[in-house]
Amino acid sequence: MKPEVSTFAYKKTLIQPVIGLVSFVFMCINVFCWALLVHLIAPLLLLKRTSYESFAERCVNRLYDGWLASCEWWFRHVLGVRWELDDTMQVDFEHWHLIIANHRSWVDVFVIFAQLKGRRPLPRVFMKQALIWMPFVGTATYIMGFPFMKRYTKEQVKKNPKLAGKDLATTKRSCKRLLNRPNSIMSFVEGTRFSPSKHEQQSSPYQYLLKPKAGGIGFILQTMPGTIKSITDINVLYEQETVTGWDLLCGRIGKVKVMVREVALPESILALDYRAAEKDREHFFTWFNLYWHDKDVRMNHQLERLRQPSNKGVEQNFAASKTSQE
C-alpha cells in the first residue's frame, strides 16, 4: 500500500501547477465578468436622489457578493480549501465597522471576506488614488464606492503650502457614499505582507507582526467622526509557516483559522473634537501601539494552540479577554 500512496502523492504534486494555472485563469475571467456588470450598472448612479440610484447601489452590493460567492465556490468545490471561521462573531449590519487584520498573503483577503460574509457588510478598502488607473478593476472599485486617498509628503506640502489639508478634504469627498448607509472599512495597517526578512529589516518589536502604520487609521477616524465605535480585530492564522497566493491557487493550503474580537475605542478617541491625524496624533499612536502589542501576544498563543493541538483552552482565553489598555 505504501508505494501506491507515494505514487499518488507524486502525481498530485506534478498536477498542482496545472491546477494553479487553471485557477489563475478562472480568477481573471471571474473578476472581469463581475467588473463588467458593475460598469453596466454605473450610469444609474448618476441619477442622484432617485429610486434608480438606490437600485444601482443594491445591485453593486449584490455583484460584490456574487464575485465573492463565485470565488468561494471555486476554493471549496474545485480546490477543496476550507477556512475554519470564527462562528462567535456577531451579525451586525446596523453600524459602521473598522476591520483591522494581520497580513501574511493576499490569501488573507479571501479568508477575511469569507468570515465577514453574512455577518457584516462586505468591506470597502481605502485605496491609493493611483490605483484607480488599474485597468478595469480600478474603475470598478471606484464605482462600488471604495474610498480613494490622496496623500502628500511633508516635502510636497513644504514646496506648496496650499496642499496642506487637501488630502483630508479629498478623502472626505470620497467617503460621501460610505456615509449614506452603514458600511465596513478594512485596513492592513502593516502596509505590506509580513515576511521574516521584512520583520528583521524593520527590527520589529513584535513577534508575528510588522510595525503598524497607524496614520491611515487616524485619518479614517478623523474623516468619519462619530461613526466608528470599535475595531473589529481579526487574526488570520495559518498552520503552515509560509503561505502564498500560488499555494491557494494550487489548492495546497493547510489549516487556516480565524479569530475575531471587538476592541472598543476609548471615550477620548470617540470625542467629536478628537483629531487622530493632527493635534491628537501622539495620543492616538500611543493607544494604537498598545492595542497592536496585545494583538501580537494573542497571535502568539493562538498560533501555539493551532500548531500544537495539546495546548487546549489557551485560544479561548485569549479570544475572550480584554486588551491591556481597555
Does 3 have pLDDT greater than 60? no
Rounded to the nearest angstrom, the gap between the alpha carbon of residue 111 and the centroid of all alpha carbons in its chain is 9
Rounded mean pLDDT, 154-168: 64
What are the grid coordinates assigned to 91, written together?
451579525
The contacts of residue 38 (CB under 8 Å, 6+ apart) are 60, 63, 140, 143, 144
What is the residue type of 194? F
Q: Which of 70-74, 148-152, 309-313 has the lowest mean pLDDT?
A: 309-313
pLDDT score, position 157: 61
pLDDT-derived band at 142 (thresholds 50, 70, 90) equals confident
Does 285 have pLDDT greater than 60? yes
What are the grid coordinates assigned to 63, written together?
455583484
Dihedral sign from CA coordinates of 33, 34, 35, 37: positive
Does 174 have pLDDT greater than 70? no
Cα torsion through 138, 140, 146, 147, rounded to 10: 50
Does 196 have pLDDT greater than 60? yes
pTM score over 0.85: no
Which of 150-159, 217-226, 269-278, 288-297 is predicted most confidently?
288-297
Does 4 have pLDDT greater than 60? no
For 283, counting Cβ atoms within 10 Å of its Cβ (0-12 exposed, 13-18 middle, 19+ buried), the class is middle
More reliable by pLDDT, 93 or 278: 93
> What is the average pLDDT value for the chain, to the nearest integer?
84
Which of 2-11, 47-56, 288-297 is predicted most confidently?
288-297
**Cα dist from 100 to 108, 112, 198, 320, whole Å:** 12, 10, 20, 17
The contacts of residue 196 (CB under 8 Å, 6+ apart) are none
pLDDT score, position 150: 66
Q: Which residues pair with 235 in a beta bridge?
A: 259
The contacts of residue 82 (CB under 8 Å, 6+ apart) are 76, 256
How big is the chain, counted in residues? Answer: 326
